[in-house]
Every structure is written in structure tokens, then in C-alpha cells.
Amino acid sequence: MVASFPRSVRIGSRKSQLALIQTHWVQGELGRAFPGCSFEVETMETQGDKVLNVALSKIGDKGLFTQELEDKITNGEVDFAVHSLKDLPTRLPEGLMLGCVTEREDPADAVVMHEKYQDKHLATLPERAVVGTSSLRRLAQLRHHYPHLTFKDIRGNLNTRLRKLDEGQYDATILAVAGLKRMGWGDRIHEILPPEVSLHAVGQGALGIECRSGDETILSILKTLEHLPTAQRCYAERAFLRELEGGCQVPIGVNTSIEGDTLTLVGLVASLDGKTLVKDIVSGPTDTAEALGTTLANKLREQGAQEILDAITAELRQN
């Protein structure tokens, strides 16, 4: 089998430390599965990596962390790219596809506290304590549950965000459990937010590997890393987001679980001020994952989700 893959395989990755940790994990797993192949990593910066002084919601949400990588795949410079799935748009460029979804790390959001508040939780932080987050999804839900707190945008990679926190620019920050664990910083997790407080981002905690459509050789390689339960959950989440036509920078949160052959999807759309939340749930067979996502999106739309999203889009354009 290995002999049928004589050439080296080129993997595209962002340059950030977390991106490289994730990509090198994929490289190692594939190297063990196909010892006769050479898997080489090529790195690049994306727009989202370069523009660090502007809130993500103000510079657009279509492919901020993926477009440059996608161009390399399309041009044949790399064979596939490793993404944090939450960064991958639900509508991919023509000729590209999601070739593999890996097993998910904990998709929840985590609170990291400044050292002076190690005896506190978000609920017990003092009035107007400053919490850093660059996610409108987190912002809207946390404003709803913790109106006594002040929220301030925070940009940069995980290293930069933790440094800003430790320097005292923020009293706490909200980060993905998965990213902290993959970086070896699980000990910085002070509190894991339950779904009742913060539904996570679509695809959070999973890796999505993007490749050229119809490249059967690469697809057969990537499928060795596919984790079917994670893929089913993420396809439901992505269908939900796609149907609502929401990018990564809108307050849309999800939570999924599988018991036996039944997949359950919870979805939420929130206003930026956190005062209006529309939330519902659907369940059905795992092999109808995408249909479940579409069904839930339509249920929320009937409850006013589209009006919330339209108002947010208009507000972001004005700002």
C-alpha cells in the first residue's frame, strides 16, 4: 500500500505554535501509518495572523485563517492543510473539500484568571472586572450571565493572550480548553464553562483537514485519521451554522452529543448585548447529522434568530 505513494506529501500549516503542534501531530500519525511516505510541513501566515490590532469582527469573517492555505492547496503547492475546524468556513472554495475530521478534544470554553483572583470564579469577580475575549459568541453569552463584568477585546495567539493577562491588562480571559491542553497549559484552566453558560463554537476542539476535491490518493491517506463520531457531530454543527449563513464572528453557539445511534444538537443565537437569546434542541439518527443541523437552524429562524443576525450584521458594518 505504501508503495503506491512514492512522492512526498506536503502539508500546509499556519506558523503559530498551536497550529504547528496540531500539524505535527497529524504529520506524526500519518508518518506512522504510511512509513514509506515523506510528510513535509510548509508554513505560512494568514490574514488573521497578520492583523492583530483590530477586532476580528471588524476585519471580516470569511477565511481569515484559511484563505492563504487554501490558495496553496488549489495551486498544488501543498496537498492538504490542517486547520482548527472552528476557523474553517462552512462554505469552501470550489475544488476544495473537508477531507477529514479528527477526534475532538474537549470543546468547552475555559476561564483563565489573573493570579490576584485565583480564589474567584467569573460569577464572583468584583464589579467591572475586565474579562478579555475576541469572540462575539463568548461575549454575548457572558454578558447575558455576568452583566456585572466588563468585557474587552483581546487579540493575538495563546502565548500573547496569556502574557497580556499576566501583565494585568485583564483580570481574566476566556480561551478554548482544547488549545490550552494541546499547548501543555492545562494547569492554567481555572474554570470550565458548562454548556448552560457558554455553548462552544462550531467545530471547536476538532481538527479539520482540507484538500482538493477528488484527490483520491490524498483522501485515502487522510481517512486513516477520521473519527466518525466527531465528524458526525461537527457536520451537524457546520450545517446549522451554514444554514444560518453565520460566519465565525457572530454569536452562534452549539453543543452536540451522541448516545448510541442518536445525535443531539443544541444551538443558540444571541444578540451582542446578551439580552436576547434564542435556543433550541433537536435529536435524530447520527447518519442524518447535516439534516439535523438544517432543521435546528430553521427552528431558531422561526423564533427570531434571523432578525438577531441581521441586526448584528448591520451594527458591525456601521462600526
State the virtual CA torsion across 284, 287, 292, 294 in degrees, nearest 10.
-160
Closest CA to 138 of 159, 160, 161, 115: 161
Residue 82 identity: V
- Verify whether residue 87 is a known catalytic residue: yes
Q: Which residue is catalytic, options 79, 87, 109, 215?
A: 87
Active site amino acids:
87
